[in-house]
């Protein structure tokens, strides 16, 4: 595991809580604004940032993230820009940052080139939602050599054999999608999530993060009782889309991060977290 990723989960485990993981696309609404908004997320209590790489065909994302990605693309955001945002977070702010990207942009940029740039930017890892371990041989070799974490996804529909395969391939954390379908804030997180996490935990010591649907501190608290990480994306994006200006967006993002951070810190009878 990359040392920065490891430090995030170790610190959360020492506090008997889950890590708070926040997502935002780079370049939304501009490069400079996305950095400022991520700074607010971190100041509000986010432990690990997922920097989204905008892609023109985000099939797994819901309406809010699709709208944000289109804004970022209309601003001309490139993969180089995304890595510059990572550098701002990881090297200048000394915070853990991972990239969330569909596979096509990484492949077009060049696998080795992308990994080299991630290392230079101080990035901790990469989440590839549409890449399967069976198709990721060169990617796994390159990330192993560079010390960059890999994160793949499992879902409630995943078989035990599938979970075993994915868990073995993950070196950062396992991303447990709590629902079937696209991303988006929901009034309730799927009741399938605890069982999915339990199935994953039986097969790996790698931390497990739960995402898709978290929209409140109460939901974050509920997930924190059984997961190592609580992942929030669409709800952050929605607050920015609904804000009148950047100042209002920054205030809204900061307040929401504080609400979520309070949620993951509530005293609960936690299921033991991963040791790595």
Instruction: Kindly list the catalytic residues.
Output: 50, 61
CA–CA gap between residue 14 and residue 96 (Å, rounded):
17
CA–CA gap between residue 189 and residue 213 (Å, rounded):
6
Q: What is the rounded (10 degree) CA torsion for 29, 34, 40, 44?
A: 100
Measured at the alpha carbon of residue 194, what is the angle toward residues 177 and 153, in degrees to the nearest 5?
A: 25
53: three-class secondary structure by DSSP: coil
DSSP secondary structure letter of residue 179: S
CA–CA gap between residue 233 and residue 240 (Å, rounded):
11
Host H or E run for residue 5: helix 3-14
199: three-class secondary structure by DSSP: helix
Q: Spell out the residues 6+ positions from residue 89 whose beta carbon is closer than 8 angstroms to its own.
A: 35, 38, 42, 49, 51, 95, 97
Q: Spell out the residues 6+ positions from residue 59 whose beta carbon is closer than 8 angstroms to its own.
A: 130, 182
119: three-class secondary structure by DSSP: helix
- Judge contact between 5 and 126, C-beta under 8 A: no
């Amino acid at each position: 595991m990359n040392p920065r990723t490891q430090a995030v989960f170790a610190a959360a485990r020492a506090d008997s809580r889950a890590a708070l993981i926040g997502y935002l696309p780079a370049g939304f609404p501009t490069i400079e604004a996305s950095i400022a908004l991520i700074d607010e997320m971190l100041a509000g209590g986010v432990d690990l940032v997922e920097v989204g790489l905008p892609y023109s065909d985000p099939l797994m994302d819901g309406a809010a993230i699709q709208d944000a990605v289109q804004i970022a693309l209309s601003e001309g955001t490139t993969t180089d820009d995304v890595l510059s945002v990572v550098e701002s977070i990881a090297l200048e702010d000394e915070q853990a940052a991972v990239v969330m990207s569909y596979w096509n942009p990484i492949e077009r940029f060049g696998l080795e080139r992308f990994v080299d740039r991630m290392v230079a930017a101080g990035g901790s890892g990469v989440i590839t939602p549409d890449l399967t371990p069976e198709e990721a041989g060169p990617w796994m070799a390159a990330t192993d050599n560079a010390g960059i974490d890999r994160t793949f996804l499992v879902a409630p529909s995943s078989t035990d054999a599938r979970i075993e395969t994915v868990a073995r391939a993950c070196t950062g954390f396992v991303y447990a999608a709590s629902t079937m379908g696209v991303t988006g804030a929901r009034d309730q997180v799927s009741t399938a999530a605890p069982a999915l996490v339990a199935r994953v935990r039986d097969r790996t010591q790698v931390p497990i993060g739960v995402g898709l649907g978290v929209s409140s501190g109460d939901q974050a608290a509920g997930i924190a009782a059984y997961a190592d990480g609580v992942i929030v994306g669409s709800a952050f994006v929605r607050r920015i889309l609904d804000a009148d200006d950047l100042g209002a967006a920054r205030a809204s993002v900061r307040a929401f991060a504080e609400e979520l951070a309070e949620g993951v810190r509530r005293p609960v009878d936690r299921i033991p977290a991963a040791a790595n």
